Amino acid sequence: MTSELTGKPSPVPALHDKKIPHHGVKEAVFPFNMFQEVDPVLGPEMRSTGEVLGISPNFGEAYFKAQEATQTKLPTGGTVLLSVCDMDKPELLPIAHKFHDLGFKILATGGTYDMIAEEGIPAEKIKKLYEGRPNITDAMTNGKIDLIINTPAGADSLHDDSYIRKAAIKYRIPYITTMAAASATAEGIAAITAQGGSLSVKSLQEFHREITD
Instruction: Identify the CATH number of the domain in which residue 176 sits.
Output: 3.40.50.1380
Q: Residue 5 is inside which H or E element, if any?
A: helix 3-6
Given a cut of 70, whether residue 10 has pLDDT beyond it is: yes
pLDDT digits (tens, 9 = 90+) for 97-153: 999 999 999 999 999 999 999 999 999 999 998 899 999 999 999 999 999 999 987
Given this model, what pLDDT does residue 40 score? Answer: 58
Distance CA 155, CA 87 (A): 13
In a domain, 101, yes or no: yes
In a domain, 18, yes or no: yes
Cβ-proximal residues to 39 (8 Å cutoff; 6+ apart), any chain: 152, 162, 165, 166
Question: Virtual CA dihedral for 62, 67, 70, 72, nearest 10 degrees?
Answer: -150
In a domain, 91, yes or no: yes
> Helices 179-194 and 92-101 meet at what angle, rounded to 10?
20
- Show the domain range for 74: 12-209
Neighbours of 143 (CB within 10 A): 11
Mean pLDDT, the chain, rounded, equals 89
Given a cut of 70, whether residue 155 has pLDDT beyond it is: no
Residue that wins the pLDDT comparison between 29 and 178: 178
In a domain, 106, yes or no: yes
In a domain, 93, yes or no: yes
**Section 78-88 average pLDDT:** 95
| CA-based nearest residue to 129, from 105, 155, 156, 165 | 165
Domain count, the chain: 1
In a domain, 6, yes or no: no
Q: How far is CA 82 from CA 27, 120, 122, in A?
A: 22, 15, 13
In a domain, 2, yes or no: no
Strand residues in 90-167 grouped as ranges (E): 105-108, 124-125, 147-150
Distance CA 110, CA 82 (A): 10
Distance CA 213, CA 158 (A): 55
Burial grade of 149 (CB within 10 A; 0-12, 13-18, 19 or more): buried
Q: Please check whether residue 88 is in contact with residue 111, taking contact to mean a CB–CB distance below 8 angstroms.
A: no
Query: How many secondary structure helices (H) and strands (E) does the chain include?
Result: 8, 7
Distance CA 185, CA 45 (A): 26
Given a cut of 90, whether residue 19 has pLDDT beyond it is: yes
Lowest average pLDDT, out of 18-22, 44-48, 183-187, goes to 44-48
In a domain, 7, yes or no: no
Bridge-based pairing state of the strands 23-29 and 79-83: unpaired
